[in-house]
Chain A
Amino acid sequence: MNMSGNFVLLRADSLRLLLPQEDVGAAEYVEHELRPSGEAGVYEHGEGDNLRWVVALSAQMRPLPGFPADRFVLASLRTGESALSFAWNEVQVLIDAQFERHELPVAMQVPGAPIEAYVERDGQVVLCTNAESVVSYALGAAG
Chain B
Amino acid sequence: MEQQLLQSIDLPAVLPEAAADEPRAPARLLEFKRGSFVAFPAHATIGLIDNPTVTPVPGAPYYCLGLMPWQGRQLPLLDLNTLLRAYPEGDAPPAGHVLVLAYQSAPGRPLEYGAVCAPWLVRMIEVGDSQQCELPCDSDLWPWISLACFDYDGHAVPVLDTSRVFGPPQ
Contacts and interface: CB of A to CB of B under 8 A. Distances in A.
Interface residues of A, number: 26
Interface string B38-66: 00000000000000000111111100100
Contact of A113 (B60, B112, B165): B60
Interface stretch (B4-12, B23-31, B74-82): B74-82
- Which of A62, A102, A105 has most B Cβ within 10 Å? A105
A113 B168 contact: no
Q: A-side binding surface: helix, strand, loop or mixed?
A: loop
B169 interface: yes
B168 A107 contact: yes
A106 B167 contact: yes
Interface residues of B, number: 21
A105 B114 contact: yes
Interface string B70-91: 0000111010000000000000
Contacts of A137: 58-59
Contacts of B150: none
Interface string A89-114: 00000000000001011111110111
Given A118-B67, A125-B67, A125-B74, A108 B57 contact: yes
Contact of A108 (B64, B105, B112, B165): B64
A143 B60 CA distance: 10
B166 interface: yes
Contacts of B57: 104, 108, 115, 118, 127
8 contacts: A14-B55, A104-B76, A105-B76, A105-B112, A107-B61, A107-B167, A114-B59, A125-B55
